Structure formats: C-alpha cells, structure tokens
Amino acid sequence: MTARDDELRAFATALGLAFSDLALFGRALTHDSYLNEHPGEPLEDNERLEFLGDAVIDFLAAEWLYARLPDEPEGRLTQIRAALVRNDALGRIAASLGVGPMLLMGRGEAEHGGRKRARNLGGALEAILGALYLDSGLDAARAFIVPHFEDLLAAILRDESAKDAKSLLNEWSQRATGREPAYHAVETSGPEHDPAFVVEVRIAGEVYGKGRGRSKREASQAAAQAALASLRKRGLSE
C-alpha cells in the first residue's frame, strides 16, 4: 500500500465512505492536468467518472425534490434541480468537504488556484459520486449527497428572495421617481480566480444601498436588499 493509498483511505473514512475498490476513489480525485505533466504514470483522470456522476446527481436531485416539494409543478422542480446541481453549488460542497487539497493535479494548475476553482471541485464531486455508484451502488451515492441538498435548497431560496428584492426596488423606484435603479460596481478585490465585488445601487443619482458578493450579480442583489431595508426604516417602501 502506497502513501497515496493511505491518504485516500483516511479521506474516504473522514467522508463516511468505504470503497471496496480504492483505485476508483483515487481516479475520482485525479485531475487531467496531473496526467499531462506525468504521462508515464499508469493512472486515469476523473473525466469519465465525472460524466457518470453528473447523471447520478441529476437523478438523485430529481428524486429528492419530487418528495421534498410535493406541491411544486414540473417546471419549478426543473429550475430548482438545475440550481442544485450547477457547478458552483457542487464546488461549494466539495470545498466544505476538503476535496481541494486531496486532488492530484499538475503543478501549473495548482499554482494558478486549481484546488479552489469551482469547475475542478464540482467536477471532482461528480466523479466521487460516479465512483461511489460503481463501487457501492445508488443507495450509497444517495446517502452521501442528499444530506447536502437541504442547505443548498435554503441557499437557492434565499437567492431567489434577493432577486425578488431587485424587482421590488425597481417597482418602488418607478413609482416614486419614474426611473429605474442603476447598479454600479465600485470595488473589486481578491485573487482573479475568486474575486469579491462591491456594488452600489443608485436612483436618480443618489446611493440607496451597497452590497458585497462573489459576483456582480450577487453583489447587486445584496445592494437591492440593503436599499429596501433603508427605505423601510425611512417609511418609504410601501
């Protein structure tokens, strides 16, 4: 047993997983950049497992939402499922599980933030699900991923509330001033692969709120929420 095998077994145990075929788990955590830099090693990257895991998580998300939201129509369930399984959401789960440091990847990719990149993390999580499905079946894959869906669903609903805030602010602005709110990015910080933005929302040239987020869209939503909170304090939002 190699040192890598020991690391993989310990990590699987920390995740509550027990692989009969540890090589499958290792493949799920092997980024193609590693093989590009080590072409002679007898390893496979995780892309095929990612393909399989993508199908597995789509099914499990659909199954869970069907039972979790019995009154929602098909179109709404489809929207929520898409949000549940999008790469940035899966990337956040993978990051919380500590997947990044366990990825076998090329030095160049790692030096450019590859262990924190949502695309790599989300893909690795899908690959883990694909490996788990092959090794232990659908029930094991379900037991692993479904507990994370509840927190994701809550975050999706919060995000939709923020989007509603933009609509509400637009309605108030049109009614009160005859103008639409304007959103302006006033600050950008952090590394290129993980930036943070600050956005101001202005109405008729006046700043009504400011918000921060990991994307301009998220920061704009936060700014709209701040503006509405300010308006309510001033008794102007009705």
SS (H, E, C) 9-25: HHHHHHCCCCCCCHHHH
Tell me, letter by letter, the H, E, C secondary structure of 142-201: HHHHHHHHHHHHHHHHHHHHHHHHHHHHHHHHHHHHCCCCEEEEEEEECCCCCCEEEEEE
Which listed residue (45, 50, 109, 126) is catalytic?
126
Please check whether residue 222 is in contact with residue 211, taking contact to mean a CB–CB distance below 8 angstroms. Answer: yes
Contact 195, 188 (CB under 8 A): yes
Residue 126: CB atoms within 10 A of its CB come to 27
Give catalytic status of residue 164 as yes or no.
no
Q: Phi then psi for 21, rounded to 5 degrees?
A: -110, 95
71 is catalytic: no
Distance, C-alpha 206 to centroid of its chain: 34
- Of 62, 91, 65, the C-alpha closest to 157 is 65
- What is the SS3 string spanning 62-126? HHHHHHHCCCCCHHHHHHHHHHHCCHHHHHHHHHHHCHHHHCECCHHHHHCCCCCCHHHHHHHHH
Name the residue type at position 156. Answer: I
The catalytic residue among 45, 50, 54, 135 is: 54
Catalytic residue numbers?
A: 54, 126
